[in-house]
Chains A and B, each alone.
Chain A
């Protein structure tokens, strides 16, 4: 006879639960599926009614995302030499000609530079501070840790007013450096809290053994603690990166021409005559996909990251 456990749910209840959760998953993923599918539609297909579930896929949206185009008169278009290259051909099919690259590539690169820059800085500063908070008697430790956390409670717009004035004085407005520093300041609370949790879990004995072997504190930190904390550091880094990647309020208020990132840019993508939804969807798809992949990689540490380390599994 098999062992009977009172806490093991019955087979029927498992089935019912699986069914309901699957249903929820399907519904919750629909908007994301819709974004991705819209990015492969033609303009008219994207706004047809009833909405098209089946359609001929095209990369028009992606071509439009990366180019600017004009719509010449039909006679003018016919007089042109045959299109060169795939991009030009796809633009012609919509009755347009490519006049140059769009700013999407630039904005995307800004997101990458600012995202990675602020992540690197947050991790370096955060690891040092977290190590000190974890291992040493820092005066007013709890107050400092709470202070670090409380900086997250300020509404971004409230912080943006003085930052705007300060950056204008310092010449940091609309610069990559300015945004990197700002995102680092926002992310550092997350980095310190998460990393402190990870470092707390490394037994002190390893370091003490190293110290007895003649390592200095700093060597012990570098050669013993850092390698042990590598997973924690990596997942903290991904959380910081995702935050900086997704951030909108500061970006829209403090950047314009030079250092603007993708989130404030994507909603402004306008095609020839009205909002070009396939192009917006293409931009959104390219922008959201990396985060989806990172989320799947992170799934084990997700809970910890979103609660600042308050809940661990």
Chain B
């Protein structure tokens, strides 16, 4: 038989005592969470709903008094059948794929080297990380200076090392180099991001796994492919997710470097959207454009996260 005093004590749970003294936990939880949710509803969700509504109209923000007509799905139809927009999507995909390719390649290699734990690796890591914390707009603007035709530092360095005359090519001008120039700047800025995440992955692998492999006489090469790569993969995939979402939204750095030019060679969807919305003032049309972009990024990210979770479970 249980002690009657114990039973009585269990009958008054400590939460009750707390409730008497102050607000209940549930009330506090709501009071604490509500302001955040309210702010996000007001500045994210309400505008999103507004955008959806506008996307079915021909509204133009620079003509607030003009009659607004309901156009149904016509905006969506026009965007999805517009070849220029598909070409911008291709430009964005080119940017996305190559930046991720180079950042993963260089970032992983750097992390792998830094993980040799040589003296001073922490200082170098801190220095390498600097570019990614800086304002993409200010840095992108300065790269136009480094990329100047004929007299730019980049042209000079290329001439110095390869002998190709500096005056014979232009990093941001016509000639097809511009899409690669923006890939270079983005890779310069964001490789450290992939590197840091890979480094965390490498450091999470316990030594004893390698020791066991060594006992089994597995070659270093085999250890790399059967231990290192699979163990770092979930981290690497996370890095790719972040970079993918960020670069799909890319606006600031590229807008200042090329503004989408020359012609439309570097016209990423975000820059095109800005032109439609804030230069041509086709608000209804660009709202539909925005919704399509948002659904695309959200859909791709969801599929990707599912794949990521599968890799994690293995």
A7 and B126 alpha carbons, distance in the complex (Å):
25
Beta-carbon contact of A185 and B43 below 8 Å: yes
Residue A54 at the chain B interface, CB threshold 8 Å: no
Of B43, B133, B135, which contacts A163 at CB under 8 A? B43
Q: Which stretch (A10-18, A67-75, A86-94, A227-235) binds chain B? A: A10-18
Residue B314 at the chain A interface, CB threshold 8 Å: no
Q: State how many angstroms separate the Cβ of A103 from the closest Cβ of chain B.
A: 16
Contacts A31-B142, A138-B33, A181-B43 given: A218-B54 contact, CB under 8 Å? no
A107 and B122 alpha carbons, distance in the complex (Å):
35
A126 and B40 alpha carbons, distance in the complex (Å):
12
Of A18, A34, A212, A267, which contacts B256 at CB under 8 A? A267
What residues of chain A lie closer than 8 Å to B156, measured between beta carbons?
A: 49-51
Beta-carbon contact of A161 and B286 below 8 Å: yes
A299 and B128 alpha carbons, distance in the complex (Å):
11
Beta-carbon contact of B138 and A311 below 8 Å: no
A32 and B116 alpha carbons, distance in the complex (Å):
27
- What mask results when residues 115 to 134 of chain A are scored 1 for a CB within 8 Å of chain B, else 0? 00000000001101101110
What residues of chain B lie closer than 8 Å to A262, measured between beta carbons?
A: 138
Beta-carbon contact of A17 and B118 below 8 Å: yes
What residues of chain B lie closer than 8 Å to A303, measured between beta carbons?
A: 196-197, 199-200
Summarize B's interface: helix, strand, loop or mixed: helix
Give A281's nearest chain B residue, CB to CB.
Answer: B142
Residue A112 at the chain B interface, CB threshold 8 Å: no
Q: Which residues 20-67 of B have a CB within 8 angstroms of A?
A: 21-23, 25-26, 28-33, 35-37, 39-40, 42-48, 50-51, 54, 61
Beta-carbon contact of B29 and A136 below 8 Å: yes
What residues of chain B lie closer than 8 Å to A32, measured between beta carbons?
A: 130-131, 134
Beta-carbon contact of A211 and B18 below 8 Å: yes
Residue A114 at the chain B interface, CB threshold 8 Å: no
A301 and B94 alpha carbons, distance in the complex (Å):
32
What residues of chain B lie closer than 8 Å to A159, measured between beta carbons?
A: 44, 47-48
Beta-carbon contact of A21 and B274 below 8 Å: no
What residues of chain B lie closer than 8 Å to A18, measured between beta carbons?
A: 116, 118-121
Give B109's nearest chain A residue, CB to CB.
Answer: A20
Q: State how many angstroms separate the Cβ of A5 from the closest Cβ of chain B.
A: 8
Contacts A6-B210, A132-B29, A217-B23 given: A125-B36 contact, CB under 8 Å? yes
A302 and B39 alpha carbons, distance in the complex (Å):
27
Of B118, B119, B127, which contacts A29 at CB under 8 A? B127
Beta-carbon contact of B113 and A21 below 8 Å: yes
B-binding residues in A (CB < 8 A)? 5-7, 9, 13-15, 17-18, 20-22, 24-25, 28-29, 31-32, 34-35, 38, 47-51, 125-126, 128-129, 131-133, 136-138, 144, 147-148, 150-166, 181-182, 184-185, 188-189, 192, 211-212, 214, 216-218, 242, 245-246, 248-249, 252-253, 262-264, 266-267, 277, 280-281, 283-284, 287-288, 291-292, 294-296, 299, 302-303, 306-307, 310-311, 313
- Listed from nearest, the 9 A-B pairs whose CB atoms lie closest are A158-B290, A162-B47, A248-B137, A216-B22, A185-B43, A246-B135, A132-B32, A136-B29, A248-B252
Q: Can you show 18 pairs from A to B with CB atoms below 8 A apart?
A: A5-B207, A18-B118, A31-B142, A34-B146, A132-B29, A136-B26, A137-B26, A144-B37, A155-B269, A156-B251, A158-B291, A161-B290, A216-B23, A246-B134, A248-B137, A248-B256, A253-B278, A310-B238
A-binding residues in B (CB < 8 A)? 14, 18, 21-23, 25-26, 28-33, 35-37, 39-40, 42-48, 50-51, 54, 61, 106, 110, 113-114, 116-122, 124-139, 141-143, 145-146, 148, 150-151, 153, 156, 166, 188, 191-193, 196-197, 199-200, 203, 207, 210-211, 214, 235, 238, 242, 245, 248-249, 251-252, 255-256, 269-270, 273-274, 277-278, 283, 286-287, 290-291, 293-294, 297-298, 301
